[in-house]
Amino acid sequence: MKSAWVIRHVPFEGLGVYAAVLEQRGYRIRVIEAPLQALAELDPAEPDLLIMLGGPVGAFDDASYPYLIHALRLVQQRIANGRKLLGVCLGAQLIARALGAEVKPMGIKEIGYAPLTLTAAGQQSVLAPLQGAGPVLHWHGDQFQIPVGATHLASSQDCPYQAFSVGNAVLALQFHPEADPRQLEAWLVGHAAELQAAGIDPCTLRAQAAAVSDDLVRLSQQMFADWLDLPVGEGEA
């Protein structure tokens, strides 16, 4: 049985629609609460898959949240081992930081459902199913630059760098294809202070979630499954 470690920063930003994909494929899922777990004691080479999820802190906030140093080391060691690594939002920003790229505030909050635009490389990548998925969820105020040697896959109107890959092993997503629009209420409550500070009405986000295409969940799961199927190792594409 394959194993998947899910590094979770806050309980309401979980695996979402990706959980069903892993369960269908027989993965043994271990959820690790990043702020509470002794991350330094974990062996990043142990699981077949490591997923670093999103959270409300910044990728360089380790002075205030020291656990991030250990989360970053997990990412660095995972990359060095050449094994499957998926980063979403904060997870993607930590991957960018590990690869020497800049992560900084955008100056605005990109929160809500909005279209994703794939680059030419993105249209030939595992992200291709999302081209026809309609609006996807964005929820961030920071953005990464594309690391040297990585492939830029997607952008949005407010954020030019939404996704990148490094070979078949590493996929970094600024947006949230894992988020289940049917469970967005947990996000609205968990991020209530951020929404109020940004002047964003949760009723607007609730309406956006209710209006997204029924295909969004299916296509997001297809994208994730396609990435899981990519071979990793010597001679990978």
- pLDDT at res. 213: 79
CATH number of the domain to which 72 belongs = 3.40.50.880
> Per the structure, how many domains does the chain have?
1
Q: How confident is the model at residue 237 (pLDDT cuts 50, 70, 90)?
A: very low
Per residue in 37-64, pLDDT (tens digit) is 999 999 999 999 999 999 999 999 999 9
Is residue 235 included in any domain, yes or no?
no
Give the residue numbers spanning the domain of 80. 3-229
Residue where the block lists tokens 């296509």: 219
- pLDDT at res. 132: 77
Per residue in 175-207, pLDDT (tens digit) is 999 999 999 999 999 999 999 999 999 999 999
Is residue 236 included in any domain, yes or no?
no
Per residue in 21-44, pLDDT (tens digit) is 999 999 999 999 999 999 999 999
pTM of the model: 0.96
